[in-house]
């Protein structure tokens, strides 16, 4: 890698992680191109200092155009959401394989030096995740392969594609296996939100509407570990800058049940609510957490923001967003009746 990396493409730039990554890269002095399938007005964060494009990266020609004069690529683009979305949209999730495949093909043509792919903990063997509070998943637990159907298979296949583009064409590929990233400026309603945002929204809406209960998917005993967005960005950049070519966990090992996550949000909101357990909703695996041994050994880094702190920041941002939306609705309702 003799060529200095200065011009960076971030795909999925209009999304949650992508928006935070673009912000950090601009702060660090890189020239950034952002691309996302969403119209620009629907991007979670948009920065005038970056070149922003609304385009479909399933299309190979779009990938060719947007990778011209690019040194490094962060591929965060895919069709995904929380468990409710990925369990009910398996075909659409798997079609994201076109994005990574065509971006790698275009990167080869346009002489991209370095390419980071955002994978997921959903690639891990589901047979190892049938109990609550499991031992953290190590990188070796991806094989023998039995990932979550649809989304997990697409991510695992794309990891292999990255490996072979390095072996055959010399593109320096990096693979980050993200574990449940959360924080401000992300989806918190509409069906694609993940547990930290969903629970925060439900508690806030219960308080706003003077309800004494919230709905919980499953029995609340399923476990996960959650990584705050600032740590995610830091770990992602550490991996990108490293010489480590194998997939690596970017996650937290602070494993909690969904009931414990609700406890955290109730403490933040200074409220106590009844819980209506919905046993017919999508649940995913029973237990999941990250093993960070390789992260600490290879990158000499680990996450620093604990769940209580990260959830407070997330809750406050969602609360402010819902208050603004509520005020806007009331304003327009009053205007309609004048």
Collapsing DSSP to helix, strand or coil, 181 comes out as strand
**DSSP codes, 76-129:** ------SHHHHHH-HHHHHTTHHHHHHHHHHHHHTT-SEEEEEEEGGGS-GGG-
């370095």: which residue's tokens?
114
User: E strands along 202-327, which residues?
Assistant: 213-217, 223-225, 227-228, 248-250, 255-257, 274-278
At CA 19, angle to CA 268 and CA 57, rounded to 5? 135
Give the Cα separation of 56 and 265 in Å (integer): 37
Give the residue numbers marked as catalytic. 151
Residue of 140, 143, 60, 53 whose CA lies nearest to 101: 60
Residue of 317, 303, 127, 313 whose CA lies nearest to 225: 303
291 φ, ψ to 5°? -95, 120
Please say whether the beta carbons of 27 and 9 come within 8 A.
no
The residues, ordered by sequence, that sit 6+ positions from 206 with a Cβ below 8 Å of its Cβ are: 212, 213, 214, 271, 273
178 φ, ψ to 5°? -75, 140
Q: Find the Cα–Cα–Cα–Cα dihedral 225, 229, 233, 239, rounded to 10°.
A: 0
At CA 179, angle to CA 243 and CA 96, rounded to 5? 80
DSSP code for 136: P
Collapsing DSSP to helix, strand or coil, 245 comes out as coil
């Amino acid at each position: 890698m003799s060529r200095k990396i200065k011009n960076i493409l971030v795909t999925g730039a209009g999304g949650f992680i992508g928006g935070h990554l673009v912000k950090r890269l601009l702060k660090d002095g890189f020239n950034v191109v952002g691309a996302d399938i969403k119209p620009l007005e629907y991007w979670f964060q948009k920065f005038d200092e970056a070149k922003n494009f609304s385009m479909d990266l399933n299309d190979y020609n779009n990938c060719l155009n947007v990778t011209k004069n690019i040194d490094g690529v962060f591929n965060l683009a895919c069709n995904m959401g929380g468990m409710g979305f990925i369990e009910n949209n398996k075909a659409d999730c798997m079609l994201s394989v076109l994005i990574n495949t065509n971006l790698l093909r275009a990167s080869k043509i346009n002489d991209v030096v370095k390419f980071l792919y955002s994978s997921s903990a959903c690639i891990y063997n589901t047979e190892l995740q049938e109990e609550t509070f499991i031992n953290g998943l190590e990188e070796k637990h991806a094989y023998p392969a039995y990932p979550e159907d649809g989304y997990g298979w697409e991510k695992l296949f794309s990891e292999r594609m990255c490996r072979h583009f390095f072996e055959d064409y010399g593109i320096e590929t990096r693979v980050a296996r993200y574990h449940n990233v959360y924080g401000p400026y992300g989806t918190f309603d509409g069906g694609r939100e993940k547990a930290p945002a969903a629970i925060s929204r439900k508690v806030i809406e219960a308080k706003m509407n003077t309800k004494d209960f919230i709905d919980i998917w499953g029995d609340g005993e399923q476990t996960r570990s959650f990584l705050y967005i600032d740590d995610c960005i830091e770990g992602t950049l550490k991996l990108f800058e490293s010489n480590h070519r194998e997939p690596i966990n970017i996650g937290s090992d602070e494993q909690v049940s969904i009931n414990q996550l609700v406890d955290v949000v109730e403490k933040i909101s200074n409220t106590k609510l009844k819980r209506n357990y919905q046993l017919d909703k999508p649940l995913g695996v029973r237990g999941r957490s990250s093993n960070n041994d390789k992260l600490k050994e290879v990158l000499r880094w680990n996450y620093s923001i604990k769940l209580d702190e990260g959830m407070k920041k997330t809750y406050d941002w969602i609360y402010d967003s819902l208050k603004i939306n509520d005020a806007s609705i009331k304003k327009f309702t009053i205007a309609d009746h004048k």
